[in-house]
Structure 1
Amino acid sequence: MAEKPQNETTAPAPVPEELPPEGGIRGWLCVLGSFFCMFCSFGFLNSMGVFQKTYEETILHEYSPSSISWIFAVQLALVLALGPLYGRIFDTYGPAPVLYPCSVICVFSLCMTSLAHEYYQIFLAQGLLFGIGVGGLFSAGILCVGQWFVRRRGLATGIASTGSSVGGVICPIFMDRVMEKKGFAGATRYVALLMGVLLVAACILTRARLPRKKWNRELKWFDVTLFKQKEFMLFTVGTYLTMWGMWAPFNYISTMAVNQGFSPALALYLISMINATSVPGRVIPPFLADIFGHFNIFTLCACGSGVTIFALWLPFNYHHSHAGLIVFALIFGFFSGALVSLFMPCVAKLGKLETLGQRFGTFQIAISVSCLTGLPIEGALLHRQHDNDYSGLQIFSGLSLLLGTLFLGLSTSGLAKQRGTWKV
């Protein structure tokens, strides 16, 4: 048998890239694109209190706070409920088929909202249509970051999710200033223009790392068998309860402040304060989570949110204090900011990267029920207490967060035992 020449080398077989590169120019550009997606999705939703207050005082003044809150509850629910659809499309074809049409839908829906004068028109445009569009922005942005990062996923997701905090700071102030000159309809159209510009940038920057696949007709849209995994089931229940109570301050703190003598402008700025401190809340806890475990930090932040409501929000329902409400807004913003940025890394930790979209979609549709029902329940409690006593919705919100912490703790403990380490 002839020997190979000594100067001949055998090319090594290509090694499949199984793990993300943990960054690089394309990875961090994707984070920037996701930042814009979050700005236009949860950033806008975080300023829902501006619309709640405006609608109560103007075109929907004859409706109860609970009825008006259904508009925003549907928005929040659709962001998550359409997760299985968007997740399947993302897993198969990448972000483009989700991100491009949903960007157009969001801008169009805001333009229609600016023309609406009846409850059903606002519900269809801002509640239903905008919710459909914004769900695609959120899913495409957050899932794309999950493809580019594993070891630093918490930090990358946290940085991307600061877009929702920055949006929540800018939108209330922007709306308030523009409404003084252009009215509510004009301000809404200016927001639509801003959102259109940012979404063009998001569509350019957001790119998938994994190749496209063939559509799998046998893959389940909503995989109930995932709940047979005890840790996944406990985590979903815990997050459900957490989200049930988390949105109350975002929606009702402005109207509470006006009832307590705040100027209308300062009452709206409370929403910006919550979102301002959620910026470090979306970066520092996720950074620590990459070191000490995503489940551990998520559970601590859920507990901190519940304790803050009982310690710093409920007392000021009985003893009015401008400074007290401002302190609550700042502290609650930090803890609640971490919750939005950490639940995706936790879900990603419970399975394979290739099925992240399906698993996240199943999780999302379960959580969407929480978002759909939480705000109307709190609004009904407020209406039952003559629209000026906020203790009922405050207690409901705080108990939901603390009960959710219990289930999150059980999930964290079970996962720690399963993997033989406390860093989960």
Structure 2
Amino acid sequence: MQSTDMVSATEVAQTSYSNSLTTVTGYQLNKTNLNLQNEYHRQNSSSGIYTSNSMEKADTTKEIDDTSASISSNVHQAPWDKVELVASADLRAELATNKPPEGIYAWIVIFACFVSLMLSIGINDAYGVYQQHYQLTEFPDVSTATISWIGTVQFLIMCLGGVFSGFLCEHFDTRILNAVGAVIMGVAFISGSFCISVGALMATQGLLYGLGASFPFVAGTSIPSQWFTKRQGLATGIALSGSGIGGMWMTSATSALIESLGRPWAMRVTGIIAMAAVLAVSPWMRVRLVPNRSERIIDWSLIKERRFCLYLIALVFVIAAYFGPFYQVPSYSVVVLHKSDSWGSNMDTLMNGLSVVGRLSVGLLADMVGPLNLLIANTVLAALSLLVFWVPFTSVGTLLAVIFLFGFAIGGIVSVIPVVAARIFGLARLPSIIGLLFVGYFIGGLLGVPPMSALLDNVGHRTDYTSSIWYMAMLPVCALLFLVAMRFTITCKLRVKI
């Protein structure tokens, strides 16, 4: 079989949920012939051809063998030493299901996911404003690394809770789980407003909020792909753009609230808004596919797949790099560029806004050029933005270049991660697959901001950001190596939509 045919077989297994060809373990079976075979079995069964008479059984067996031989003549076997199909057993089963509705209700679900992610992830993205306030105003004698653990614990618990939330989403109504998460988020910030120590804030703003946000985080990330096929990338991009838009307006709102009302009331207002908004959209946070109710919290069988392991390791480095600029740009603007506190928070707002553009742009392009190709391209852009503009320079212009390029790139990366998982590893168990990816997110959170902050404290003495920026820049480079290796396990051809 020629190489073009092999690539075609791979692409069908990856992306064609409503294709007229059914791809099974390296074979392309003509759907018409399969229908003929099914019709043959139906007619024979209804006419009572299967009797106890041994001669009739023999005749029947011969006729079935002849039919199978006819079908086999239309089968092309891909040489297994040349190509490995991406489709999992779940994905092959999905090829026979009805395509998603992609109607008005589907877009209502996308809006609900948008709002849920806008508050759950958007608040986490805006933590840089709190980091700046704690570091420079409220707790000036506490190390940067210690303060950064508030936001880090928030994200880590969100990811760790996401592992269990994925399991719960397979067994319980996601609408109820989303509402429970909304209440916990509100309680966390309202109780955190009364805290006056880093430890107490770590328990409320960090741990408790992360636990509550994990429910809308998992639901909002995994549900969009179930409702669309043709516009899957766009729909997922719109839903995930909620986190960027949330980070954008929450950053500005938090900064304004802290200046006008103080940090305690800023947290109370934020908690009330988060709880009310997420509760309001919870009735529409509904899954379309009835999930396979696994007894395991994590589907560890995926670890046996080399391709998934490469993807998981790449995501560890991607997530490690994600929060670095968001957490450090506000204080960097004040300490190094001698700008005001509000200027630094505005840079975070701008970066969140550009991440929204990245999410929507990549959502549109993913359906045209392939989500994995775009994930690799955006990772390259993120690495270059830090290595070329932030490492060697300390000026306002170069920082703006970093904000524009990194913000756009990281938004696209976050948007396309679940699309790649859905296309390559299947939709049926997507909540538990994403739950396993959250294990990678958890490890990435540990490898991200805490080491950066420790380098800033111990090497840069809270004024020199060079070592921290170098560490930040090498993370997307490492992610890129594993993503390229993963792509080569699918095909070595560059002009292939993956």
- What is the TM-score with the length of structure 1 in the denominator? 0.90
Alignment of 1:109-148 (within 5 A): 109-148=188-227
Q: Distance in 2 between matches of 1:133 and 1:19?
A: 34
Q: Distance in 2 between matches of 1:22 and 1:413?
A: 34
Partner residue, 2:366: 289
Partner residue, 2:487: 412
Partner residue, 2:54: none
8 Å CA contact 2:357, 2:408 repeated in 1: yes
Partner residue, 2:186: 107
Q: Distance in 2 between matches of 1:405 and 1:201?
A: 39
Residue 315 of structure 1, CA deviation: 2.5
Q: Percent identity?
A: 26
Partner residue, 1:366: 440
Matched, 1:354 2:428: yes
Residue 186 of structure 1, CA deviation: 1.1
8 Å CA contact 1:76, 1:131 repeated in 2: yes
Q: Distance in 1 between matches of 2:259 and 2:326?
A: 22
Instruction: Classify 1:407/1:93 alpha carbon distance in 2 versus 1 (closer, same or farther; 3 Å).
Output: same
Q: Distance in 2 between matches of 1:80 and 1:150?
A: 27
Partner residue, 1:4: none
Q: Distance in 2 between matches of 1:398 and 1:420?
A: 26
Secondary structure class of the residue paired with 1:222? coil
8 Å CA contact 1:286, 1:342 repeated in 2: yes
8 Å CA contact 2:150, 2:198 repeated in 1: no
Counterpart residue type for residue 429 of structure 2: T
Partner residue, 2:471: 396
Residue 119 of structure 1, CA deviation: 1.4
Structure 1 segments of 4+ aligned residues over 3 angstroms from their partners: none
8 Å CA contact 1:33, 1:206 repeated in 2: yes
Q: Distance in 2 between matches of 1:99 and 1:23?
A: 22
Q: Distance in 1 between matches of 2:457 and 2:438?
A: 29
Instruction: Classify 1:230/1:17 alpha carbon distance in 2 versus 1 (closer, same or farther; 3 Å).
Output: closer
Residues 186-214 of structure 1: CA distance to partner in whole angstroms, max 9, x if unpaired?
1111112221232123213322213477x
**May I ask how many residue pairs the two structures share in their alignment?**
402
RMSD, matched Cα: 1.9
Instruction: Classify 1:20/1:30 alpha carbon distance in 2 versus 1 (closer, same or farther; 3 Å).
Output: farther
Q: Distance in 1 between matches of 2:118 and 2:330?
A: 21
Q: Distance in 1 between matches of 2:494 and 2:163?
A: 32
Partner residue, 2:321: 245
8 Å CA contact 2:129, 2:251 repeated in 1: yes
8 Å CA contact 2:310, 2:486 repeated in 1: yes
Q: Distance in 1 between matches of 2:137 and 2:400?
A: 26
8 Å CA contact 1:73, 1:373 repeated in 2: no
Residue 39 of structure 1, CA deviation: 0.6
Secondary structure class of the residue paired with 1:349? helix
Alignment of 1:233-312 (within 5 A): 233-259=309-335, 260-312=337-389
Matched, 1:195 2:269: no
Secondary structure class of the residue paired with 1:151? coil
Matched, 1:53 2:132: yes
Residues 118-142 of structure 1: CA distance to partner in whole angstroms, max 9, x if unpaired?
1111000011000111111110111
Instruction: Classify 1:19/1:240 alpha carbon distance in 2 versus 1 (closer, same or farther; 3 Å).
Output: farther
Counterpart residue type for residue 59 of structure 1: E
Residue 420 of structure 1, CA deviation: 11
Residue 78 of structure 1, CA deviation: 1.9
Residue 17 of structure 1, CA deviation: 8.3
Residue 271 of structure 1, CA deviation: 0.3
Q: Distance in 2 between matches of 1:150 and 1:416?
A: 23
Partner residue, 2:166: 87
Q: Distance in 2 between matches of 1:17 and 1:113?
A: 50
Larger Rg belongs to? 2
**Greater relative contact order: 1 or 2 (C-alpha under 8 angstroms, separation 6 or more)?**
1
Matched, 1:328 2:402: yes
Stretch of structure 1 that moved more, 390-399 or 79-88:
79-88
8 Å CA contact 1:29, 1:206 repeated in 2: no
8 Å CA contact 1:348, 1:360 repeated in 2: no
Q: Which 5+ residue runs of structure 1 have no aligned equivalent?
A: 1-15
8 Å CA contact 1:305, 1:401 repeated in 2: yes
Match of 1:173 among 252, 255, 260: 252
Match of 1:35 among 114, 126, 139: 114
Matched, 1:380 2:454: yes
Residues 367-399 of structure 1: CA distance to partner in whole angstroms, max 9, x if unpaired?
211113311100000001111111111111111
Instruction: Classify 1:416/1:83 alpha carbon distance in 2 versus 1 (closer, same or farther; 3 Å).
Output: farther
8 Å CA contact 1:79, 1:135 repeated in 2: yes
Secondary structure class of the residue paired with 1:82? helix
8 Å CA contact 1:302, 1:401 repeated in 2: yes
Residue 80 of structure 1, CA deviation: 1.8
Secondary structure class of the residue paired with 1:347? helix
8 Å CA contact 2:254, 2:266 repeated in 1: yes
Q: Distance in 1 between matches of 2:412 and 2:291?
A: 32
8 Å CA contact 2:189, 2:204 repeated in 1: yes
Counterpart residue type for residue 174 of structure 1: A
Residue 411 of structure 1, CA deviation: 0.7
